[in-house]
Structure 1
Amino acid sequence: MARNRKMEMGMDEVRQKKQEIRNEISTFFDSLPADQIEANTHIIESRLFEFANFLESKIVMLYLNAENEVATDNIIKRSFEFGKIVVLPVFDAAKGIIQLMKIDNPDKDLVTGTRGMLEPNPDKCKAVPMDCIDIAVVPGIAMDEKGGRIGPGDGMYDRIIPDLPMTTRKVGLVFEGQLIPQVPMESHDKHVDIIITEKRVIYKI
């Protein structure tokens, strides 16, 4: 019993630390001029489209960014120009269900999902099995050089990543200022293989 209480205290401390990091990253974003955010995003986008694993992939899982995540609007549009099959996740937080769905037109195929964010419309888009994904580009509010990542706290991508094939490259996009020395990890937290920032590409594979 005492050991369980100690573990709970440890997890509470980790979650508190994660929230402190989220707050720090929010302050970091607030301090960046809009033109700097745009410039950093453009460089990261260019690096992704020069990245061999991305260029060679056919079916790519992307994300629609939330607050304090690298914007992906243009990445999604350019992926169609590169002949990619674009897949986005659909989250049902209440049921704990995650599905991947193929979109053909971001302007017509997206609706507001259960989290209040745009997601593929299940009535229009086809489901895609996890094991079909060649490369998965995942968001993060903060990451470390070992591939540890912090999301908004809903744990959705921690549930997607382990269901993807081992051969699927998991790529995180963050600004250099979102890199921290060490992400406090919980048992359910999952790593990415590669991180792309506006300054470098970090390989963890």
Structure 2
Amino acid sequence: MPADLSPQKRALRAELRERRRNFTSTERSATAAGITERLIALAQSVGAKSVSCYLSATDEPDTRGFLRWADEQGIRALLPIARVDGLLDWAIAAGDDEEVGLFGMPEPVGELLAPTAINDVDLIIVPAACVDKRGVRLGWGRGYFDKTLGSMENCPPVYAVVFDTEVLDEVPRERHDQPVDGAVTPTRTLRFTADRT
């Protein structure tokens, strides 16, 4: 029977959350342009006409510049809305309308689309606490994205967005943890050979 990695994951999440809280607004602003630039280049490289992304919270790498660009380019962007049953509904990004969601995270305001709406996107951009060089992603512990990615038959490329210091040598992985194909940081885009088994 595999070891329970939950305590190890909780400790790592707490450490990373504290690091993010200690970033100054100047440091945070300095990373936003790099994240936007790299996300745009990534979307262009896959010829994305539709993407799924998320509204970044204050402590997260900023995805809002990318979402503004996608809107200007006519790229359809789906944003997640957490449900109490552990699934994600989606809404099409439309302007700056948002509200506080189930776990205190920003969520879009708009028509709800079913969890299967993500099946039509060309690129998936997910939040993460950290990733490792094998493509193992550590989320924030609720399993929404692992469940979503694990249920997709033809999953498009999946990229996590993290700060540079959150690309680690190794991240604990349990059976349900879904890998990512790459990571976008303020200074680089990394591609991994994701093991989806």
- Pick the TM interval, shorter chain: 0.7 to 0.9
Following superposition, the deviation at residue 129 of structure 1 comes to 2.0
Give the Cα–Cα distance (whole angstroms) in 1 for the partners of residues 101 and 124 of structure 2: 20
Partner SS for 2:89: strand
Task: Report the secondary structure of 1:26's partner residue.
Answer: helix
- What is aligned with 1:84? 75
The structure in which a higher percent of residues are helix is 1
Distance apart, 1:167 and its partner CA? 4.7
* Counterparts of 2:7 and 2:59, CA distance in 1: 18
Instruction: Tell me by how many angstroms 1:201 deviates.
Output: 1.6
Cα offsets for 1:18-45 (capped at 9, x unmatched): 1111122123224433212211221121
**TM-score after normalising by structure 1:** 0.82
Counterpart of 1:189 in structure 2 is 177
Give the Cα–Cα distance (whole angstroms) in 2 for the partners of residues 68 and 145 of structure 1: 23
Distance 1:38 1:164 in 2: 34
Task: Give, as a single letter, the amino acid of the residue that structure 2 aligns with 1:190.
Answer: Q
Q: Taking structure 2 as the reference length, what is the TM-score of the superposition? A: 0.86
Does 2:93 match 1:103? yes
* Residue 32 of structure 1 pairs with residue 18 of structure 2: no
Residues 136-172 of structure 1, C-alpha deviations (whole Å, 9 max, x = no match): 1000011111111111111111111123453511011
Is the partner of 1:199 in helix, strand or coil?
coil
3-state SS of paired residue (1:56)? coil
- Matched residue type, 2:93: I
For residue 181 of structure 1, report the CA deviation from its aligned partner: 1.4
Contact 2:79-2:91 at 8 Å conserved across structures: yes
The question of whether the paired residues in 2 share the 8 Å contact of 1:103 and 1:125 is answered with: no
- Number of residue equivalences: 192
CA contact (8 A) 1:21 1:142 kept: no
Task: Tell me, in whole angstroms, the C-alpha distance in 2 between the residues paired with 1:180 and 1:38.
Answer: 23
Q: Which 4+ runs in 1 deviate beyond 6 A?
A: none
**132, 137, 140: which is aligned to 1:149?**
137
Question: Is the partner of 1:51 in helix, strand or coil?
Answer: helix
Amino acid at match of 1:87: L
Whether 1:178 aligns to 2:166 is yes
Whether the 8 Å contact between 2:119 and 2:155 is mirrored in structure 1 is: no
Q: 2:81·2:107 contact (CA, 8 Å) conserved in 1? A: yes
**Residue pair 1:135, 1:169 contacting (<8 A) in 2 also:** yes
Runs of at least 5 residues in structure 2 that lack an aligned partner in the other structure: none
Seen in structure 2, the aligned counterparts of structure 1 residues 98 and 141 have a Cα distance that, compared at 3 Å, is same
Cα distance change of structure 1 residues 57 and 68 upon mapping to structure 2, 3 Å threshold: same
